[in-house]
Structure 1
Amino acid sequence: QVSLLHTPNNNPSKTQNNNKIMLLMRLCFSLFIYLLILIFFPLLLPQYIKVFLNESWTARFGTAMETKSLTLLWSITVSIFAIGGLVGALIVSIPVKYLGRKGTLLANNGFAILGALLTSLSKTAGSFEMLILGRFIIGLDGGIALSALPMYLGEISPKQIRGSIGQITAIFICCGVFSGQILGLPELLGGKESTWPFLFGMNVVPALVQLAILPFLPESPKYLLCEKNDYIKAQKGFQVFLGKEDVTKEMEEVQREKRNQKNVNLVSVCKLLQKRSMRWQIITVIVTMASYQLCGLNAIWFYTSSIFKEAGIQEHQIPYITLSTGGIEILASLVSSLTVERLGRRPLLIGGFAFMALFFGLLTVSLNLQNKVFWMPYLSIIFIIAVIASFCIGPGGIPFILTGELFDQSCRASAFMIGGTVSWLCNFAVGLLFPFIQSALGSFCFLVFAGIAAAGAIYLHFLLPETKNQTFAEICLSFAKINKKSHVSAEETKTITLSEFVEISASNVMNRKPNIEPDDVECTV
């Protein structure tokens, strides 16, 4: 990490300490995402959960549930997670404002522990209500985490490695998926009906580990300086995260952003939606988050087992073959993390959606021909792996990075609230509507997701600027030509100072970028 920061450090012990801090930081935050995903994978063993729902209902009311009622209760148990996530996304701006980014993540572990206890003890108590309530609380935990965590990572990361650090979320989501697949194997916790509560209960472990580690890391320096006016703690925070004593450049950059907002309070969601100068940034976040959830990755899992069976793989071997998809996810996310600062956000995000659309189309063809051509099932497996890899290389993590990069400190919390709300609503819609789409269209349902992925790629191709190594002021200039058509009011134009405009323009000339005309952006002196 030190070499990527381009900050010379002649003290070997300081370099070692910096590496340790970065490792500690990654471990702490990754455990939180690991916690989030592990709660999902017990629901890939629906036969056990449905038996519990039926048994607890029978014990309570004396009669077994009808098939339709059981399906409805099962659907509620699954979808309540997304409802909790939506609530978490709607309220996240409050704790990140008053508790800070780090404080929010610490407090949020309480929801994680409570949800894990309720779900793991529901079988012992014979209460399906505990399972549903626990799922809601874990969803609440996830909704807060997936907004506060990218916000924190984006604010503590130098712009040179902001994308790589932001990809931690995607990498450890994949690690959580892979861990859930392993723990769900028949030899471990997925082989008996009596063991599924332990799989839920294991979510307590990462939460406790994070509670032990996170207090030793500083709060976001940007939050401390811009919102709490605490110069000393902000400076110390930068020194810890960057592993160097001289953080003058970083402090000046944040102070410039603070000066531009000195007459601007934290912007609420309603006010942000009304700001014409942020109109296309908001639309970009909404489109990106909607495409992220609606591009059809979750639908792949519904077909994986049947496709493996068609390929001649015996049923008892399928869980082990499925592990390969988890491994591909991790590998693709690592590749994305290593290349996002070289290639940029645009190519990975647009390319990811475009390749997903392509492979979804090819998968539709192969699924409809696999009964006619003996080798088609094997080709379908390749297309499934290609779809998963395409998602993890770009769309899997970059949307969270973009949300933090497109908005300044005063708007960032509300922007994450908007993005999170869209994400969880789309997640809920997929879970609710996919069974009906699958029933009506069969394997042709993938064409719907191909269309959504293609539409997302086209929009981003024309309207998303590159944000790699860019400050907020530079990113704002990239959107200026679009937003100026909205006749930005004088109050909304206090985005960058004249000195910043001159500095950025000079930088563009040195880097042979297209000239920025003075009328493309309004500057304040």
Structure 2
Amino acid sequence: SLTGAFGSSFLYGYNLSVVNAPAGFIKKFYNETWERRYGFSVDEGTLTLLWSITVSIFAIGGLVGAIIVTPIVKFFGRKCTLVLNNVFAVAAALLMSLSLLAGSFEMLILGRIIMGVDAGISLSALPMYLSEISPKEIRGSLGQVTAIFICIGVFTGQVLGLPEIFGQESRWPFLFGAIIVPSLIQVVILPFLPESPRYLLLENTCPVFAAFQRFLGKGDVSQEIEEVLAESRAQRNTKLVSVLQLLRTRAVRWQILTVVVTMGCYQLCGLNAVSVLPRAMAPPGEPPSLITSFGLHYLPTSGLVIERLGRRPLLIGGFGLMIVFFAVLTVSLTLQNTVYWLPYLSIFCILAIIASFCIGPGGIPFVLTGELFQQSQRPAAFMIAGTVNWLCNFAVGLLFPFIQVLSLPTYCFLVFAGVCFAGAAYLFFVLPETKNKTFHEISQRCLIEFPITAQGP
């Protein structure tokens, strides 16, 4: 789990935040390159457009990766997909880190889209791999490794971007070159670890017992083998389904809708917008390292209690708390010039929103996607989840500045509160609990508890 996440979800989080610190230097590099080529400085509108493309094209690459991941994990397997995916990461790192030396901002933009492809593949392949290698008793906790390493990656990008490290005009290419380190570590370690035993067994390949024994640390794995075989017998004549076939399958319609809702709320709940406020609200002269410490609050806490409380209470409770603190934040920001202590309340609300997100919405959507679908449906389900994730990611980056302009900045957070309310209400009425259940038990329970089934109206 640690090796897979370090070379996958860590890099996703890292690339989300790494472009923020050197933004001024990169824009200067764009202007100097433009002037050297054409003999005049780039106008402000074109520079803003180039920068927006640089930031947002990462999500476009992620969408491409999410779309192509299904045939890749089917042909190469889960582990091999993660290993081979590092080709994209290394190529992107070389392009971005050498762009300044080559005097080509196109290399930086191309590197960002290639890095997005890497992230799109890994954010589907990694949760799939972790859900399939984990015993059901700790499947939720290990599934949280994806979210935890996303947050560690975001924080690492913030730290390395400090002026004391790589946040300088001559050093910003090293921020992108550092991507090679996690990739190489994963390439060295992951090939020596087993493939997903569930994938090996259902794909009729040989080293199934050895993989189960190594992952579970015991000689007798007959119970686990029988669990997978029970799932296999339940879908004996079922081949790997395509996305279109999955969307047409009436029995999983509500599972698909649940994944779409949770992934959509994961991106649209406003965490990315809220997370930039501490730096914007900082007093003049505030040490950057102090502001960066806000990144520590990203670390998800649900991994500690997910197997005790379950997925459903943490998701609904997390969204519910976010609604409350969004409302309080809106009031405190609106009136902050009238009472001297209200800015402190605003900062508290920001931290509380981030903590509420980390309670459940921050990692459980990835776990649920792996649990709500059978083996033959899982790759297509992750492709749908990834597509929704990246489209919403792109939408937030594109639309949030306009929301701030078209409405009062303090009231824009009510939009995010509405998203959280809609997500919590849907999950309250629809989502069954999947804690401590085998994949076959979850599949049978979904047929009973979801509002519509293959035999339903």
The TM tier, using the shorter chain, reads over 0.9
User: Unmatched 5+ residue regions in structure 2?
Assistant: none
Asked whether the 8 Å contact 1:308–1:377 carries over to 2, the reply is: no
For 2:237, what is the secondary structure of its paired residue?
Answer: coil
Which residue matches 1:57?
Answer: 34
Q: Which residue of 2 aligns with 1:294?
A: 268
Match of 2:228 in 1: 254
What's 2:426 paired with? Answer: 459
Shift of 1:418: 0.3
2:153 matches 1:176: yes
Distance (Å, rounded) in 2 between the aligned partners of 1:119 and 1:235: 43
Aligned amino acid, residue 186 of structure 1: P
Work out whether 1:221 is the aligned partner of 2:194. no
Quote the offset at 1:338 in angstroms. Answer: 1.2
Matched residue, 1:12: none
Matched residue, 1:499: none
Amino acid at match of 1:413: P
Alpha-carbon distance in structure 2 between the residues aligned to 1:96 and 1:248: 26
> 2:211 aligned to 237, 254, 267, which one?
237
Percent identity for Structure 1 against Structure 2: 60
Counterpart of 1:33 in structure 2: which amino acid?
S
**Pair 1:388 & 2:354 matched:** yes
**Structure 1, unaligned runs of 5 or more:** 1-24, 490-519, 521-525
Residues 484 and 362 (structure 1 numbering): CA distance in 2 closer, same or farther, change over 3 Å?
Answer: closer
Q: Does 1:429 align with 2:398?
A: no
Deviation string, structure 1 residues 3-46 (Cα, Å, up to 9, x no partner): xxxxxxxxxxxxxxxxxxxxxx4244334322222223231122
SS at match of 1:167: helix
Q: Distance in 2 between matches of 1:160 and 1:411?
A: 22
Which residue identity is paired with 2:252? Answer: M
Contact 2:252 2:453 in 1 (8 A): no
Query: Counterparts in 2 of 1:66-465, with a 5 A limit?
Result: 66-190=43-167, 192-227=168-203, 229-230=204-205, 232-309=206-283, 314-317=284-287, 319-330=288-299, 333=300, 335-441=301-407, 442-465=409-432
Evaluate the alpha carbon distance shift between residue 486 and residue 408 of structure 1 in structure 2; reply closer, same or farther with a 3 A threshold: closer
Say whether the 8 Å CA contact 2:78–2:125 is kept in structure 1.
yes
Aligned length: 455
Deviations 1:469-500 (CA, angstroms, capped at 9, x unpaired): 112232223322465745539xxxxxxxxxxx
Q: Provide the C-alpha distance between the structure 2 equivalents of 1:407 and 1:341, rounded to a whole number of angstroms.
A: 19
Give the aligned CA root-mean-square deviation in angstroms. Answer: 1.5
TM-score when scaled to structure 1? 0.84
Q: Is 236-245 or 48-57 further displaced after alignment?
A: 48-57
- Alpha-carbon distance in 2 for matches of 1:225, 1:481: 27
Distance in 2 of aligned mates of 1:94 and 1:118? 27
Contact kept? 2:432, 2:449, Cα under 8 Å = no
Task: Kindly provide the amino acid, as one letter, of the partner of residue 285 in structure 1.
Answer: V
The answer to whether the 8 Å contact 2:4/2:82 transfers is no
Give the structure-2-normalised TM-score: 0.97
Query: Contact 1:86–1:424 at 8 Å: present in 2 too?
Result: yes
Is the contact made by 1:108 and 1:144 (CA closer than 8 Å) also made in structure 2? Answer: yes
Counterparts of 1:315 and 1:416, CA distance in 2? 45
Separation in 1, partners of 2:229, 2:44: 62
- Code of the residue aligned with 1:66 in structure 2: it is D
Note if contact 1:277-1:484 (Cα within 8 Å) is conserved in structure 2.
no
* Secondary structure in structure 1 of the residue aligned to 2:220: coil
| Aligned mates of 1:366, 1:400 — CA distance in 2 | 33
Contact 2:3 2:190 in 1 (8 A): no
Q: Which amino acid counterpart does residue 394 of structure 1 have in structure 2?
A: G
User: C-alpha distance in 2, partners of 1:368/1:71?
Assistant: 29
Could you tell me whether the CA contact under 8 Å between 1:42 and 1:196 is conserved in 2? no
2:207 match: secondary structure: helix
CA drift of 1:302 comes to: 3.3
